[in-house]
Amino acid sequence: GAVVSQHPSWVICKSGTSVKIECRSLDFQATTMFWYRQFPKQSLMLMATSNEGSKATYEQGVEKDKFLINHASLTLSTLTVTSAHPEDSSFYICSARTVRVEQFFGPGTRLTVL
Amino acid sequence: AQKITQTQPGMFVQEKEAVTLDCTYDTSDPSYGLFWYKQPSSGEMIFLIYQGSYDQQNATEGRYSLNFQKARKSANLVISASQLGDSAMYFCAMRRVNTGNQFYFGTGTSLTVIP
């Protein structure tokens, strides 16, 4: 299957700082990327859908100004957690969709906000 | 709203035995896809099996098979000949075709294989 990478795989930051997470499709062009959030022992919750060259579509209850998503190219989408707080600590997973509609998941990024 | 329900928070199975993980879904979409993913402690989501809403036959992938009952809106995963490495979280997911192919996940089932 296709490969999706995320960077960093884990990050620890101080409260009030911003953190950027990258999601890359390594061997295919992803017209759409999705960002999920997963709390410990819970399910993946879709945060937003990101289409290349356009604004992201956020799910209900997700703060657009808090979680900035940029999909600047067909192989890269970034999620920036602005002014992070301890409650933003979570496991963030991206997925990328090919033109064939298949979806491949990244390995996830574990964010800890102190 | 789309909803995926997994009623078994935790399951135990003896090594080499078969186990069924339950999944029901609720949608009014005529076309959709159903998936099962395995998530080990490392966190990566590993694709296991896919069933399209129009597929007539149940999907099979090696030791995994999907018991698809469309009228009952259920898509149970059957793992045959369980192995110790099967211990993980298992998520059922539905992909909506009409609106950008978003995935919606169930709450997951933690499977523990006992030697």
Per-residue pLDDT of chain A (114 residues; tens, 9 = 90+): 678 999 999 999 999 999 999 999 998 888 889 999 999 888 999 999 988 888 899 999 999 999 999 988 889 999 999 999 999 999 999 999 876 667 789 999 999 999
- Sign of the CA dihedral running B41, A82, A97, B67: positive
User: Which residue among A34, A42, A91 sits closest to B103, beta carbon to beta carbon?
Assistant: A34
Alpha-carbon distance of A90 to A35, in angstroms, equals 12
Residues in chain A with CB shorter than 8 Å from the CB of B105 are: 36, 43-45
- Sign of the CA dihedral running B93, B98, B102, B106: negative
| Shortest Cα–Cα distance, B44 to chain A (Å) | 5
Alpha-carbon distance of A42 to B29, in angstroms, equals 26
| Shortest Cα–Cα distance, A102 to chain B (Å) | 9
List all residues 6 or more positions away from B82 whose beta carbon is below 8 Å from its beta carbon: B13, B14, B15, B16, B17, B18, B19, B113
Residue A98 forms contact with B (CB below 8 Å):
no
